[in-house]
Amino acid sequence: MEINPLGLTAALTAFLAIWLGHVAVRKVEAEARDLRIPILIAIALGLLTEYCSLITDHLSLKTALGILGVTLLWDAFELHRQENRVKHGHAPANPNNPRHAKILAEHSTATTLDLLKRNPVGRPVPPDEAPKLIHH
């Protein structure tokens, strides 16, 4: 019986790419003064990775590169969506970033509080109660 490692390769690549992409999107969006450059870099890397996936003959490498490429392309889209989350108060704004300072000034829903760092209570939490549940 021959073992096919393709499933494990795909699963590990997907897990790691999504996890790293999530962390990178949050960090880059919070620090970047202009999102156009990071978005273009993610698109370029995604397309390059997809191209490399198409030209290689090694099946596991082809699979890993394909998954990584699509994840990078999705991360480019998520950078814009993360900015919208900041505007709606679903992600914390960085007051030291001029782009975020402008968001804080223009959007009453924007906040510097990271509402993901709160104690779970097992029910929907109204916006005025959420800051009281944050870990300090």
Q: Which of 115, 23, 134, 39 is nearest to 77 (CA)?
A: 39
Does 2 reside within a domain?
no
The pLDDT assigned to 132 comes to 81
Does 1 reside within a domain?
no
Q: With a cut of 80, say whether residue 127 has pLDDT above it.
A: no
Does 94 reside within a domain?
yes
**pTM (two decimals):** 0.84
Does 4 reside within a domain?
no
Q: What mean pLDDT comes out for the span 23-39?
A: 97
User: Structural domain tally of the chain?
Assistant: 1
d(CA 51, CA 62): 10
The pLDDT assigned to 115 comes to 76
Q: With a cut of 70, say whether residue 136 has pLDDT above it.
A: no
Does 24 reside within a domain?
yes
Does 99 reside within a domain?
yes
- Tell me the average pLDDT of the chain: 93
Dihedral angle, C-alpha 32, 102, 90, 28, nearest 10 °:
0
- For the ranges 26-35, 61-70, 93-102, 123-132, the lowest mean pLDDT is seen at 123-132
Q: With a cut of 90, say whether residue 125 has pLDDT above it.
A: no
List, for residues 39-86, the tens digit of each pLDDT value. Answer: 999 999 999 999 999 999 999 999 999 999 999 999 999 999 999 999
Does 116 reside within a domain?
yes
What is the domain extent for residue 59?
A: 12-133
Q: Which of 93, 54, 47, 92 is nearest to 72 (CA)?
A: 47
Does 3 reside within a domain?
no
Instruction: Output Rg (C-alpha) for the chain, integer angstroms.
Output: 19
Classify residue 108 by its DSSP letter.
Answer: T
Can you spell out the DSSP letters for 86-103?
HHTTSS---TTSHHHHHH
Percent pLDDT > 70 in the chain is 99
The pLDDT assigned to 118 comes to 77
